[in-house]
Chain A
Amino acid sequence: MIRPFGFNEFLFILTAVQWTIALSAIAFCGGGLGGLGIALARTSSMKLLRLVTTGYIRLFQGTPLLMQLFLVYFGANIFGLPLNAWIAALLALSLHASAFLGEIWRGCIQAVAPGQNEAATALALNYRDRMRYVILPQAARIAVAPTVGFLVQLIKGTSLASIIGFMELTRSGQIINNATFEPFKVFGVVALIYFSLCWPLSLLARRLERHFARSTAR
């Protein structure tokens, strides 16, 4: 039976936003933790560590996110684990985010003037203290704008989790579309919901970027 696209259908789609937000938030946290490790390894003095993390970043930046999702989803089978869309989506998106955030934050760490590191070394601070009290606080300031920018990319990326059967905004749209056959309205609404999540973040990122550019200009 074909249902009309009414308020209940709209509500069904709207409540699915929570899973998009949850998936984005968890993947962002997981990716943030991993990304910090990657960024530190990428800027470390050990060549092997730099080499391995460079390869890791290349791998994730050079392959489609959809394939990364598929590999994690079907890869669970190898370890005898059941196929689970939740775990696969979370793991794949976290790994994906860690590579991208790692590369963004590497740039931010390297953008801190080298004299800062030299001065901290001259003050006999060890690596941990140099990073914790001198380098990372300054790098964090530079990192805010591009990190918010990446968050937009991540939220959009979570839509691909619908392809492995994860129930979120896009998947709920497909379900309602199959019941109502009103694709124009349904996907229009889905697109507008994504837009209202992402656009404010994009504006914020741009504003932060301008703010930062002004405050560092001589």
Chain B
Amino acid sequence: MRRVALVGNPNCGKSTLFNRLTGLNQKTSNLPGTTVDSHEGKVKISNEWFELVDLPGIYSLFTNSEYEHVVVSNLIGKGTPKPDAIIYVLDSSNLRRNLLLLSQVAELKIPAVCILTMEDSAQRRDIKIDTDELKSILGISIISFNPRITKDIKPVEGLFSQFSVGKPLSENADMNEKLSRFLEGKPNRGISTETLRRYNDIDKVVKKVVIRENKKREGNTLKIDKWVTHPVIGFFIFFSIMLAIFQGVFSLADYPMTWIEHSFSWLRSQTSKIVTNEYVVDFVNSGLLSGLEGVIVFLPQIFILFFLIGILEDSGYMVRASFLSDQLMRKLGLNGRSIIPLIGGFACAIPAIMATRTIKNRSERLATMLVVPLMSCSARIPVYILLTSLIVPAGVLWGPIPAQTLIMTLAYFAGIIMAILFAIFFKMLGKGKEQSEFVLELPTYQAPRIQTVINGAWLRCKSFLNEAGKIIVIISMALWVLSSFGPDKAMEEARNKARIIAQKNPESIEQIEQSYLLEASYAGHLGKMIEPAIKPLGYDWKTGIALISSFAAREVFVGTMSTLFQTGAEDENVIGIRKKMQSEINPETGKPAYGIGYAISLMLFYAFALQCISTMAVLKKETQTWKWSIILFFLYGAIAYLSAFSAFQFFGNP
């Protein structure tokens, strides 16, 4: 099977073309040691299968970033098979800059053809290209094709039988050797002068093939950009779009997530019909199905976030969002593109961390990933609601604002402030490794192609399932084992104890038994074991168990507390647990066990601590190492512990 690589600048329509050719028949792959995707797919053209590789869009082979390394490695066949042929994709509205990359790659003497895209936006600016002349200069087949608009893809398919080695635009010393040196990180002398010489040669070509009658004519893009960057209207558009993204991930994803939950409840009801063995049912329902549900439930959020990001990227707005927020984000050591992951983080850290892929600067991308978990995600809301209700009753007003709302908002701000501090801290750590720069093309606005966007979002979901999904299932199963099994003797005693107590009110035997079994389980033992460590924070062993179990997902805290307080499934709401928690007296001090100090301390703990295995799994997937998950676990854990400790010492001992 012949391997064909698509080579071109960013925003030239290359990926749209790739999606048109391969459809869903594609996968993403990472060159070992890099986090940059290249997409591969198979396409059958007149009875021959081709392996198509969509290389990341770059401007020149010699810029020192991961993107160029991936392209160069592919082109000279280092770590991947060398391509048998190349399809150059060139933006006709901007031929001069697009020809630089072609002139470099052409010196590798790989058979090639060329596609000129974006004819429409070139026409709008009165730019015409003499394709025949360009063909005779480059010595390869050229067609004009707009992958966004043109329906008939036959002309592109026809190119697959016309690959040929063209004529180089410039004469330069051995390209292969220079690229090998580049990959090894050795400096190539005189690349700057070489670039100037190339442009010199390109300008001669451009003079012959680009026909432009009216140089002044601008497209609509400039008009739109004047609005988009307007001090008032621009920010209004910006915040509206950010709000829409937040709402999309936060509210819209709620519907499919509810369907997923319902489907799993239905599946659980079916297992007990098929299998009679109580332990098998428990294993399948609470272990296996819960683990799977814990993975699948993220898919709607991931899909929606990447769908929306895809639209912003494909239309060209994303670059403008960077343009607007660059100055602010730069001060924090982040990137203009960090804004989307950070906002997504308020809904869920999992898709948000994945969304940092759009940040090209490596250290800025890492810093963004590392602070995203400090944004209070939606899984923290049930915990915050329960805890605020322990601080003040509903309906109390502080000034004009309901006290509970104010306390919740403060918890969010605590996370944001911590994120800002850590962003600055990570920036100082990463200083000097990679220079921060903007230098960003503001491409012509385009109507986004929905098919491309959907494909992209679906590929993200697939890679989440494959890479992070397994880890999440395994760890949730482990958590299930911890909370459903315990030392035999303890479990037996728990059952007997439950039976004796339940004699008084037999209708709630199941709740009572569950509560005692959880206490006797390994998780219960762990909860008691860590009690000395969490006592200074104001927590008892029950909170300890809930802390451990909420590693599966933070909101599990509420469920675990409700099991321990025997509130029963139908009553598993905040009010029921709150009442029971409030009436609990600490036997040592004689004061309420879950007072204001407890609630503030625990809220801060939840705001800062990285207690979410899914986040850790995704962080591992995106950074290709467990290092950062572990560092963050201990770093944010220490911050959470210290702030919870201070809060309890301050508020807990009135």
Q: Do A and B come from one complex?
A: no
